[in-house]
Amino acid sequence: MAPDYTSGYNLPIRPRRLRKTENIRRMARETRLSTDNLIAPQFVMEGENDREEVSSMPDTYRHTIDRLVDHAETLSDLGIPAVALFPALPNALKTPDAKHALDPDHLYPNAVRALKDAVPELIVITDTALDPYNSDGHDGIVRDGSIDNDATIDVMCQMAVLHAEAGADIIAPSDMMDGRVGAIRDALDAAGHTDVAILSYTAKYSSSYYGPFRDALDSAPKADEEPDKDIPKNKDTYQMDPANGEEAVRELMLDLDEGADMVMVKPALPYLDVIHRVKQHSDVPVAAYNVSGEYAMIKAADQNGWLDDKNCALEALTGIRRAGADVILTYFAEDAARWLSE
């Protein structure tokens, strides 16, 4: 006798009806992820026709300018609209005052020029923090054992104008100094770059997830390497406390008042609640940075056979979008663009 599978339950509402087939799930899907939402961080280094893999970030590379341009063309062909550029400089060029950042003919502005000449439609986002140029390893200038907020802003304003003159589309201050968005806006406008936008790292946390990025740029604080100099051991005095959420809204209000065109939360996955809060209070696009540590964890687990990087990366990126991010900076950008086109 065949079993009777007829339900005895009277359930007029069955949410599984909208999960029955792939097409039904597509129609009912609330959050969409596309290449339009992706920004690809890129590392540039000195040299020619070369690239180096970042040891703690599998499949992520530092490129020389010529190889960077080739890679940017690939990213653009995949539909990725923007890159965020970071320089990997030799220690010999780093000084406590980060003066190399203001050289108009060094690696970074030359890379911006090359990108805009070769792929003019690709948006180039430049970083104005001092840590790639600072021998002390901080985002700002160290004086008497602390970070000098206003002296740092003075340098950043000059950097922003230099980047704009090189062709940058968007300036991204990632330092968390007080008042820097307004000062950079004034400097850009005074120099005639009123159309250059500002993407502020509005809620950048003093996070433990940045380790692989600091490996890529050798940009960690150097307190242990220079015991005779009073250098802060971490970035807690200027980046946000991971325990704070409402403070992000306060930072957001300040950045909006100072003229930020876009705002960012960094990192992303441990701070999905912060992304949601910022989105609720923001009237400009919200970005989130799916940082190096988040990327490295998934890649390491994939290499060990514990997780599948494709499925986990797409799930993570979708979760960041669901939390409220309009755009996502992610080292998965190229792979995600390919996966989304399958």
Tokens 């203001």 locate to 102
241 neighbors 206 (Cβ within 8 angstroms): yes
Q: Can you name the residues that pair with 262 across neighbouring β-strands?
A: 199
Q: Can you name the residues that pair with 148 across neighbouring β-strands?
A: 141
- C-alpha distances in Å from residue 140, one per residue of 89, 156, 316: 17, 9, 32
SS3 114: helix
Cβ neighbours of residue 231 closer than 8 Å, sequence gap 6 or more? 136, 137, 138, 142, 145, 221, 222, 223
Residues 78, 39: Cα–Cα separation, whole Å:
12
Of 94, 116, 235, 266, the catalytic one is 266
SS3 181: helix
- What element of type H or E holds 39? strand 38-45
217 neighbors 46 (Cβ within 8 angstroms): no
Residues 256, 239: Cα–Cα separation, whole Å:
18
Query: Has 266 been annotated as catalytic?
Result: yes
Of 204, 222, 279, 299, the catalytic one is 204
266, with CB counted inside 10 A (0-12, 13-18, 19+), is: buried
Instruction: Find, among 91, 128, 123, 122, the residue nearest to 108 by Cα.
Output: 128
Are β-strands 170-172 and 146-148 bridged in parallel, bridged antiparallel, or unpaired? Answer: unpaired
- C-alpha distances in Å from residue 71, one per residue of 77, 113, 239: 10, 15, 32
Residues 105, 266: Cα–Cα separation, whole Å:
30
**Which of the residues are catalytic?**
204, 266
